[in-house]
Amino acid sequence: MSPPEFLEAIPLGGLGEFGMNMMVLRYGDQMIIIDAGLMFPDEELLGIDIIVPDISFLIENASQVKALILTHGHEDHIGALPFVLPALIHVPVYGTRFTLGLVTEKLAEHGLLQEAKLVTVSPRQVEEIGPFRVDFIHVTHSIVDAVMLAITTPLGTILHSGDFKIDTSPVVGPVMDLPAIADYGNRGVLGLFF
Between these two residues, 127 and 14, which has the higher pLDDT value?
Answer: 127
Q: What is the 3-state secondary structure (H, E, C) of the chain?
A: CCCCCCEEEEEEECCCCCCCCEEEEEECCEEEEECCCCECCCCCCCCCCCECCCCHHHHHCHHHEEEEECCCCCHHHHCCHHHHHHHHCCCEEEEEHHHHHHHHHHHHHCCCCCCCEEEEECCCCEEEECCEEEEEEEECCCCCCEEEEEEEECCEEEEECCCCCCCCCCCCCCCCCHHHHHHHHHHCCCEEEC
8 Å CB contact between 178 and 140: no
Task: Tell me the pairing of strands 92-96 and 65-69.
Answer: parallel
The predicted pLDDT at position 18 comes to: 79
Angstrom distance (rounded) from CA 170 to CA 168? 6
149 domain residue, yes or no = yes
The predicted pLDDT at position 1 comes to: 64
The rounded Cα 46 to chain-centroid distance in angstroms is: 29
61 domain residue, yes or no = yes
pLDDT-derived band at 15, boundaries 50, 70, 90: confident
CATH of the domain at 110: 3.60.15.10
Between these two residues, 43 and 82, which has the higher pLDDT value?
Answer: 82
56 domain residue, yes or no = yes
**pTM of the predicted protein model:** 0.94
Least confident among 19-23, 40-44, 157-161: 40-44
The predicted pLDDT at position 194 comes to: 83
pLDDT in tens, 137-187: 999 999 999 999 999 999 999 999 999 999 999 988 899 999 999 999 999
2 domain residue, yes or no = no
Domain count, the chain: 1
169 domain residue, yes or no = yes
Angstrom distance (rounded) from CA 93 to CA 171? 28
186 domain residue, yes or no = yes
157 domain residue, yes or no = yes
Q: What is the mean pLDDT of residues 31-48?
A: 86
Using alpha carbons only, how large is the chain's radius of gyration in Å?
16
Of the candidates 50, 49, 68, 70, which has an alpha carbon nearest to the alpha carbon of residue 58?
68
Contacts of 61 (CB under 8 A, 6+ apart): 31
Angstrom distance (rounded) from CA 92 to CA 139? 23
Range of the domain at 126: 7-193
86 domain residue, yes or no = yes
